[in-house]
Chains A and B, each alone.
Chain A
């Protein structure tokens, strides 16, 4: 996906635009929720239960062992898959990006794999590995790896030549050049790729659990819909939203800490 290629500049500006607290927004949300509550209570449709019902179900379901049974497996699979995606993506990406020959050689292969929608790989994963935890981890890793790998390769490839020349003048060994010049230069691109990878990993876990699983959040939501446990379904979607939001916040705060030097350097007046 090209999402990560945009770099980190837009993200910083968007965060600045979006991070201002305001009253009218809260009012809008409260009014909408109240409207939902009133209309749902009056009309009594099965498909749209009142907000209060969803809220009570949410508390009841997720502050109970259900969280351990459904949410923890999902998060665990995702963490393992994403970890390996990052490790493999970054290390192969650095190698590919550092050597022009290898980049040229592998480019068509990479483009080919990247073009295939990650979720289409899940049936193959089920065939090759079965529907266990392993399959999900592999599939998540596979899906999240491409944006990380390609962004890392681009980041490493596009290191300004002056920096490499300077490193050579100072007599840095190849390994030193790698660790002190290439990796730091590529770091913002790597971060952008990892961010895209994270959202893909999140999608992959939900989809793989919907297609072949006996537990996990994706399984839970689909099962709730099939058994007409409607408040549970809304609650599950809500939990996914909260988790997605928290993961993003966590990622951004880690990124800001690790790449503090980069943000300090590139704050341009917008």
Chain B
């Protein structure tokens, strides 16, 4: 999607700038509510926040919590997903639990997490882990289950079994599905990071947004909101690129390259 329109979409960016320009003019003329500051002020606030460290220090906090939660979720869900995908008894035993817990909206776990871990980073990491766990788990199970039985048979014929089969057959064929799941999980993880900070954080971009809202300092508030969007976009692009680099052998990936 990012790469396909190889010549830059000038008309689109032009239109975007025109929209921003109109908001600027309307805001300056006072035609909008006072709750919508001119975009130039937001831009200046973003710039100043990044230079002075007000906002940039929060980025570090948010990213560190995000990465830790996502990493923990990835390890757990890939291991459990491979077990559930490979061994039928494990799958049968855990299936109902997955079905029970998956529909619980992750944000509903925030009060529970506060109860156990207080308001610090551990609480946020636990909620992020919970939220990011499910998509990756489901995709891992799906990927492992969708393996061509012939591939496993061939491996067995060559005497490749057990751990080696996992490493050389199961994982490579499941990796495309796992990568997709990871991208979904990563998107959710960022949203949940910001959300927990917003509701019950004591630091991070989400916390900064709610602080600025309460202090009625609107340009920095909007600047931080836009920054979350930029972060999300950059991270998604990063994963997309990595995915193409790492998982290059599936038919879908080859199709996308050509």
**Chain A residues with a Cβ under 8 A of chain B:** 1-3, 6, 10, 13-14, 17-18, 22, 24-29, 32, 47, 104-109, 111-113, 115-124, 126-128, 199, 202-203, 206-207, 210-211, 217-218, 221-222, 224-225, 230, 233-234, 236-237, 240-242, 244-245, 248, 270
Contacts and interface: CB of A to CB of B under 8 A. Distances in A.
A127 B213 contact: yes
Given A22-B92, A106-B12, A120-B225, A13 B35 contact: no
A41 to B, nearest CB: 19
A118 B187 CA distance: 12
B9 A28 contact: no
16 contacts: A2-B184, A105-B12, A117-B194, A117-B229, A119-B198, A120-B209, A120-B229, A123-B210, A123-B221, A123-B225, A124-B222, A203-B105, A206-B108, A221-B111, A224-B111, A242-B103
B12 A206 contact: no
Contacts of B195: 117, 119, 203, 207
Contacts of B92: 22, 24-25
Nearest to B116: A47
A211 B16 contact: no
Given A26-B96, A108-B13, A121-B225, A10 B233 contact: no
A17 B105 contact: no
B220 to A, nearest CB: 12
Interface in B90-131: 92-97, 99-101, 103-112, 114-116
- Which 10 A-B pairs rank lowest in CB-CB distance, beginning with the nearest? A225-B111, A116-B229, A244-B103, A25-B96, A123-B213, A115-B229, A245-B103, A241-B104, A117-B191, A115-B233
Contact of B103 (A10, A233, A248, A270): A248
A123 B210 CA distance: 7
Interface stretch (B47-55, B73-81, B141-149, B164-172): B141-149
A233 B198 CA distance: 20
B19 interface: yes
A116 B100 CA distance: 30
B114 to A, nearest CB: 6
A247 to B, nearest CB: 8
A198 to B, nearest CB: 11
Contact of A105 (B15, B194, B206, B210): B15
B103 A207 contact: no
Contacts of A126: 213
Given A29-B96, A104-B12, A2 B187 contact: yes
A156 B94 CA distance: 39
Contacts of B114: 225
Interface residues of B, number: 66
Contacts of B115: 47, 225, 230, 233
Contacts, number: 179
Given A107-B12, A128-B33, A128-B35, A119 B105 contact: no
Contacts of B213: 123, 126-127
B218 interface: yes
Contacts of B108: 206, 217-218, 221, 236-237, 240-241
B145 A17 contact: yes
A28 B209 CA distance: 43
Contacts of B19: 109
A207 B221 CA distance: 18
B228 interface: yes
Contacts of A210: 107, 110, 199
Nearest to A241: B104
B184 A3 contact: yes
